[in-house]
Structure 1
């Protein structure tokens, strides 16, 4: 549906899939039931055979790969056939010796004909010393994106932390906009923290937001998926 007054609807899911180390059948079912237009994945394939593995993962969800994988160090952007991708880019954060290499993926997209947006995904470090600098590098790319931004990340810290504050600055925290910031995202075994976030350009309307906590999602990963329904502004 496209309506110049209401905007173009888009369903976005952000999901740390835990390297597919849990119940992959449950994972595929969860995503298919959510039916996202855009799926932002953390801990996707990033090593040997990553292209084929990423394509297989996307196919299990009924989606296609837009960007990410090894070039973005496991961050994947997947889209439905409703979304057309017009450009992609990848980012790697400087490596701290002895730590995991981290990065981000970005894709410029068109949906519904007139609605354009940039989608981005990242997974920040568990180390509180290196995480703020990674957030700054991620945010720098978000700030120069040519289109309204939809960004999601496993930030590995809760709201109020320095990295979270950096990424969220100037953007709308979708959970807060929907008055659902009490929905916890980690861990499925013992939910105590909201460390995964979705942030959107203020021109984008947050229609609904939820964190899917079901028996199936508890089997699928160690993080719960975030599902956000948006209305995108129509391009002039």
Structure 2
């Protein structure tokens, strides 16, 4: 992984635009929020895909405060996407947003997804984030609904998601069909993302369009990340295709 905090746009390779991505389940900010902010700021991302972001009382203000603590701005999500939040640096221009809610199962947690059409340099892409149910009976159907939205995208997709299931599961295969698993591309599929107390599972995925090159990938396991959430953040450097 390149040096933390180094602007991803410096020294663009020919034929592509660099993008640094963090996908992070922040555990509803129940843990050390100072450590959480420090983790993200140290990574220096262009975009952060957040799961378990504010989605209840004063969610707009809380989402803005979370973004500010990261040195970023809110692009999309929050309550309309049931806790999925997309944050961007000022380097990234957002040209359109939408949110998705999966059908409600009585007595279960609501789940959904957030989408933002973005432009950085000469590259355009669809940034997406989702969080599937903890109920194994619900996840396959939610994965199908998420995949339907992704398959209809006109732009190269960058998806960060807490799938609550591993790579051998039906939901993971459904969502990942036709996309590149960034961990596999970087030969890092053995890196577990959950839980920080006992890392035994890779349930946090970063999928990208095949036209996107995975330059580097990391699951950030440090004393700071172990204080910040119950999930480790996924950090990747990508090379987006020039679309203009």
**Which TM class, normalised by the smaller chain length?**
over 0.9
Query: Is 1:48 equivalent to 2:57 in the alignment?
Result: yes
- Cross-structure match for 2:112: 103
Deviation by residue 1:32-90 (Cα, 9 ceiling, x = unmatched): 00011010000000001000000000000000000000000000000000000000000
Match of 1:229 among 219, 229, 237: 237
Deviation at 1:3, TM superposition (A): 5.0
Return the TM-score normalized by structure 2: 0.95
CA distance in 2, matches of 1:217, 1:179: 22
Work out whether residues 161 and 205 of structure 2, in 8 Å CA contact, stay in contact via their aligned partners in 1.
yes
Counterpart of 2:189 in structure 1 is 181
The answer to whether the 8 A contact 2:22-2:234 is kept is yes
Query: In 2, Cα distance between the equivalents of 1:144 and 1:169?
Result: 13
Q: Which residue of 2 aligns with 1:144?
A: 152
Root-mean-square deviation (Å): 1.0
Q: Partners in 1 of 2:127 and 2:12 — Cα distance?
A: 21
- Secondary structure at the aligned position of 1:208 is classed as strand
Query: How many pairs does the alignment contain?
Result: 235
The verdict on how the C-alpha distance between 1:192 and 1:53 changes in structure 2, with shifts beyond 3 A counting, is same
CA distance in 2, matches of 1:93, 1:169: 20
Whole-angstrom distance in 1 between the partners of 2:46 and 2:91: 7
Contact 2:134 2:164 in 1 (8 A): yes
Are the counterparts in 2 of residues 4 and 234 from structure 1 also a CA contact under 8 Å? no
Written as runs of structure 1 = structure 2, the 5 A alignment for 1:88-99 is 88-99=97-108
Task: Answer whether contact 1:204 1:230 (CA < 8 A) is retained.
Answer: yes
Tell me if the contact between 1:171 and 1:202 (Cα under 8 Å) persists in the aligned partners: yes
Partner of 1:164, secondary structure, is helix
Query: For each residue in 1:111-141, what CA deviation from the matched residue of structure 2 results, as whole angstroms up to 9, or x when unmatched?
Result: 01x1000010000001111100000101111
Which residue matches 1:73? 82
Instruction: Tell me the CA shift for residue 6 of structure 1.
Output: 3.8
Runs of 4+ in 1 over 6 A off after TM superposition: none
Give the whole-Å Cα distance in 2 for the aligned partners of 1:169 and 1:37.
26
Task: Report the counterpart of residue 25 of structure 2 in structure 1.
Answer: 16
Give the TM-score normalised by the residue count of structure 1. 0.98
What does 1:135-214 align with in structure 2 at a 5 Å threshold? 135-214=143-222
